[in-house]
Amino acid sequence: MGGIVLIVLAVFAARRVWLGYPATGAEFAVLAPREEAFLQAAAEALFPPHADLPVSGGQADLPGYADRYLAVLPRRQRTLIRALFALFEHATLLWPGKGRGGFKRFSALSPEQRLGVLRDWQSSSLALRRLCLTALKAILILGYVGHPESLAALELAPWKIDSPRVEADFLYPPIGGHRDQISRVGEPLETAPTAPPLVPGLDQEAP
């Protein structure tokens, strides 16, 4: 009897964790389809369409952003971040969404249920839950607000800066490169840069 219960639980767990995620065709260096589905669902809930910003979370390719971020993290930290995604995806077993089907994994909830779940994490009396939400938000906000269209709409687009050559630029090759890749073009700056202060609008990149 115990064995049957274990088998049923294992099938349930496997089905919940691995099965039923749609193939989107997107290619990632790190992310699995289940993580892509979670991130897309979280992005849509966190950043709905709004008049102040031209793209919504659902349009900002945040799974792609998260994948690029994970790819440059050390292995241990990458594992922790992926565990965070899995936690949110399946913590609905402990803290379900409101209404019917609230125990489904996060990415299978309705948009209203997802927002409610995130609000629960935000207002939780457990500091650790609030902290986890802050960590998730931190990853996705950097991708969303850092999206070129978001920054342009907020008049916060990056500066156009042509870096002057300093002496040190003739010493260091590109990271991972060889010293024959050091560009010898131009003279090194001998004194302090003399370019004037930047001007918002004028010296920012065009959207």
Partner 1 sequence: MSSEARQDGEVRVFSDYTRDFEEDADVVVVGSGPSGSVVAYELAKAGHKVVLIEEGPPFTPQEFRADGNISMARTMREGGLRSTTGTFMPILQAICLGGGSLINSAMCVRPPAFIFDEWSTRYELDHTTRADLDPHYDAVSEFLGIAPTPEDVQGPRNLLFRQGCEALGIASEPVDRNVRGCRGSGECFSGCRARAKQSMDISYIPEAMKFGARVLTSLQVQGVLGEGRRVRGVEGRVVEPFSGRTSHAFRVRARWVVLAAGCMATPVLLQKSGNLANASGQVGQNLQFHPGSAVAGVFPESIDPIFGGTQSYQSLAFLEEGFKLETMWSAPAALAVRMPGVGAELVHRFGELPRTAIWDAIASTHRSLGTVKARFRSLNPVIRWTLHPEDVKVMLRSIHVLAQIFFAAGAEKIMPGVGGLPEEMHSREEAEVLRDYAIRPADLVTASSHVFCTTRMHGDPAQGVVDEEGRCHGYDNLYIADTGIFPRCPSVNPMLTVMALAHRQAQSLAERV
Other CB atoms within a 10 A radius of the CB of residue 117 amount to 22
The token pair that represents 171 in the structure block: 């010493």
Contacts of partner 1 in 161-190 (CB under 8 A): 161, 163-164, 166-169, 171-179, 189
Query: If binding is defined by CB under 8 A, does position 82 make contact with partner 1?
Result: no
The C-alpha torsion from 163 through 166 and 172 to 173, rounded to 10°, is 40
Q: Is 68 in the site for partner 1 (CB under 8 A)?
A: yes
Listed residue (125, 121, 92) closest to 107, CA to CA: 92
Residues within window 106-145 making contact with partner 1, judged by CB under 8 A: 115, 118-119, 122, 127, 130-131, 133-134, 137-139, 141-145
* Candidate ranges 2-10, 23-31, 96-104, 146-154; the one touching partner 1 (CB under 8 A): 146-154
Q: Which amino acid is at 143?
A: G
Measured in degrees and rounded to the nearest 5, phi and psi for residue 53 equal -130, 140
80 binds partner 1 per the rule CB under 8 A: yes
Rule CB under 8 A: which of 1-40 touch partner 1? Answer: none
Q: Is 88 exposed, middle or buried (0-12, 13-18, 19+ CB in 10 A)?
A: buried
CA dist., res. 199 & res. 193, Å (int):
16
Nearer to partner 1, 78 or 104 (CB): 78
Number of residues that bind partner 1 (CB under 8 A): 71
| 3 versus 196: smaller Cβ distance to partner 1 | 196
Nearest distance from C-beta of residue 98 to partner 1, angstroms: 15
Does residue 204 interact with partner 1 by CB under 8 A?
Answer: yes
Rg (CA), the chain: 23
